[in-house]
Amino acid sequence: MFTPSDVQIGRVHSQLDTLAQIGRQPSGGVTRYTFSPDHLQVTHLTAAWMSAAGLDVLFDRWGNLVGHSPGVGPMVMSGSHLDSVPNGGHYDGVLGVIAALEAVTLILEQGLPVRKPLAVVSFIEEEGARFHGLLGSTLAVGQLNDAEIDAIRDGQGVGFRDALADSSFGYPLTDFDFRSDSDSFLELHIEQGKRLERAGIPIGIVTSIAGPTFMQVTFTGQADHAGATEYEDRHDTLLAAAEFIVALRELGTSRFAGRGHMTVGKIAARPNVTNVVAGETIFSVDYRAADVQTAAEMAEAIDELLAVTAARQRVTWHAEIGHQTPPTPARDRIRSAVETGADRAGAAHQPVVSWAAHDTMNMASVCDAGMIFVPCRDGRSHTPEEYVRPEDIATGIAVLANALLMLAQ
């Protein structure tokens, strides 16, 4: 079993630092859109490191990278992504790929016997900065049909299939299939929150990944003269939206405290004119919960609140669900491997919910899946300020290596 001092932290840092130079921005952050020259370069480099570590390198037909140890049968996998948001940090995704590579390298270097092949994975297009979020893993697990894939375009109108065909991976794309070849998937990722840092705990064992639901709500009232219309005669949709937003926050901090988050992030009033009462207001609601039951309760509570608010302001309401991902619980087999792995590494740990989406959600549809979180400074992520302490990286990798070893033996 591995402890943090077994991790070759110099090797890990040299890889992280090398990748951080590619797609580097004047701010110090990185921008790496899927299939951009910078994204292809980090992918090539990582493939070369996999190869040097004794792994067989392959790409599936969507450009997802897999480096696996010899052997047959479903693989024990770990990895994350190398694409970034515009001006993103050096650890989101990248740490999960490099940590997996180091963990598997440690296991191979010690010549420890494994029954199942170990694999390091990097998915394309996790961030959605070019096409859409979690695309690589969504394709890997076969959740899109041909027509849906044909329709995927970036902001410039370039089709996903064309962008893929124009990309050089240095290896042929294969028909490797995550659906049949995955035994388990364990992703190490920065927490992107402050809970671990505040608690002074280096390892978060993810119990569940909260699935977001995106709603669009329309309040319809009546546009009227802002001077001449008495308050009691108004059907003011912007006022109704304002009341709703405040009430939603109260609901979030009382009934749903600690169980999820509900947010209005986008709003448009019509006609959006200074001296006219807003006749129509359209706004978003993003809600996410750690479990299906809470998500259902939230949906009901939001509808109730919309109805009450609309009635009070004498407007009508209509809500549409644009996108919905159910919460994904981590599998017990994976959680207990991480827990035992942390105990054996001498690392303090606590259960955490992932409030952000990750590729693990998709992998959970084809195999047992789970996540390890490590703390990041001030909870900052998707910014050049992203930072993880070397000691937390070493601890995370030791725990990951222990867990992968148990899953593979």
- Chain residues binding Zn ion by CB under 5 A are 92-93
3 state SS of 235: strand
Nearer to Zn ion (CB atom), residue 29 or residue 93:
93
Q: Which two tokens stand for residue 216?
A: 């669009």
Residue number of the CB closest to Zn ion reads 93
Q: Quick one: which of 293, 283, 237 has its CA closest to 260?
A: 293
Nearer to Zn ion (CB atom), residue 92 or residue 181:
92
Nearer to Zn ion (CB atom), residue 93 or residue 221:
93
Question: What is the distance in angstroms between the CA of the first residue and the CA of the last residue of the chain?
Answer: 12
H helix or E strand, kind and range, residue 50: helix 37-52
H helix or E strand, kind and range, residue 162: helix 160-165
What value, to the nearest 5°, has the Cα angle with vertex 292 and ends 83 and 287?
60
For the CB of residue 356, give the shortest distance to Zn ion in the complex, in Å: 7
Nearer to Zn ion (CB atom), residue 60 or residue 92:
92
Q: How many residues does the chain have?
A: 409
For the CB of residue 121, give the shortest distance to Zn ion in the complex, in Å: 13
Nearer to Zn ion (CB atom), residue 78 or residue 237:
78
Residue reference for tokens 């990798």? 397
For the CB of residue 132, give the shortest distance to Zn ion in the complex, in Å: 14
For the CB of residue 88, give the shortest distance to Zn ion in the complex, in Å: 9
For the CB of residue 353, give the shortest distance to Zn ion in the complex, in Å: 16
Instruction: Report the distance separating Cα 169 and Cα 124, nearest Å.
Output: 12
For the CB of residue 127, give the shortest distance to Zn ion in the complex, in Å: 7
For the CB of residue 124, give the shortest distance to Zn ion in the complex, in Å: 13
Nearer to Zn ion (CB atom), residue 84 or residue 402:
84
Q: Quick one: which of 2, 122, 109, 7 has its CA closest to 57?
A: 122
Instruction: Report the distance separating Cα 63 and Cα 48, nearest Å.
Output: 15
Nearer to Zn ion (CB atom), residue 93 or residue 204:
93
Instruction: Report the distance separating Cα 369 and Cα 209, nearest Å.
Output: 11
Q: Could you tell me how far CA 28 lies from the centroid of its own chain? A: 22
Q: Which two tokens stand for residue 244?
A: 């709703």
